[in-house]
């Protein structure tokens, strides 16, 4: 009888964990407007994912995805290399997987628009960065899942992997690539114009 109760408790615990995992697939986030993404990103890139591989963090506590992206167009930033490296929290290493609900995911051959910030490349075992040891330049996605658009076969740029804490639909969530580029260029011109007027 005791064994039966213990097994039932384990089963209920597993079901609760499984339910929590499914429920948390999409993170609830405050919306980051496109203007903020553009203004605060160090670089904005249109590119294609060349490879995704996973490594342990320096402290061996986290799994990180190391994503190599072939740069097709740079809309902001002075990138002097054909490929850039992204470090993203989460991934699979052996039999272990780490899934982080508000982080973007990447797939080989995926076409993307990403908003980037450079990673401070200091190899320090007190911090989790892996990229710092091996790759230059290295970036993280600014805005987490909101800082990545995936481009589909029909030329639509789409954000995913999170939910906004609002009942209103986000008009910037799905755009044609041309519309997204036009909006980004308009924000960049406006920001540049404001800086010029302040001088």
- The full set of domains in the chain, from first to last, is 35-192 (2.40.50)
pLDDT of residue 25: 46
Burial degree of 9 (CB within 10 A; 0-12, 13-18, 19+): exposed
* pLDDT (tens place) for every residue of the chain, 199 residues total: 545 455 544 444 444 333 333 334 455 678 899 999 999 999 999 999 999 999 998 888 899 999 999 999 999 998 888 999 999 999 999 999 998 888 999 999 999 999 999 886 555 545 555 665 666 678 999 999 999 999 999 999 999 987 777 656 678 899 999 999 999 999 999 988 888 887 7
Q: Can you read off the two tokens belonging to residue 195?
A: 């800086």
Whole-prediction pTM value? 0.79
**Pair 50, 66: CB distance under 8 Å:** no
pLDDT of residue 16: 38
Give the Cα separation of 85 and 98 in Å (integer). 20
Give the Cα separation of 140 and 143 in Å (integer). 9
pLDDT of residue 11: 43
pLDDT of residue 132: 56
């Amino acid at each position: 009888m005791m064994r039966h109760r213990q097994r039932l408790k384990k089963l209920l615990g597993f079901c609760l964990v499984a339910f929590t995992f499914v429920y948390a697939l999409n993170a609830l986030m405050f919306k980051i407007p496109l203007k903020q993404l553009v203004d605060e990103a160090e670089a904005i890139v249109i590119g294609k994912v060349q490879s995704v591989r996973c490594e342990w963090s320096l402290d061996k506590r986290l799994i990180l995805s190391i994503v190599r992206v072939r740069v097709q167009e740079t809309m902001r930033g002075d990138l002097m290399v054909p490929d850039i490296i992204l470090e993203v929290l989460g991934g699979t290493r052996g039999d272990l997987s780490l899934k982080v609900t508000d982080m973007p995911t990447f797939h080989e051959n995926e076409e993307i628009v990403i908003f980037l910030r450079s990673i401070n490349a200091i190899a320090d075992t007190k911090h989790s960065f892996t990229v710092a040891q091996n790759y230059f330049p290295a970036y993280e996605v600014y805005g987490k899942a909101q800082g990545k658009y995936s481009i589909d076969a029909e030329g639509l740029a789409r954000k995913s992997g999170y939910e906004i804490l609002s009942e209103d639909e986000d008009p910037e969530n799905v755009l044609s690539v041309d519309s997204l580029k036009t909006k980004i260029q308009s924000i960049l011109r406006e920001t540049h114009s404001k800086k010029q007027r302040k001088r």
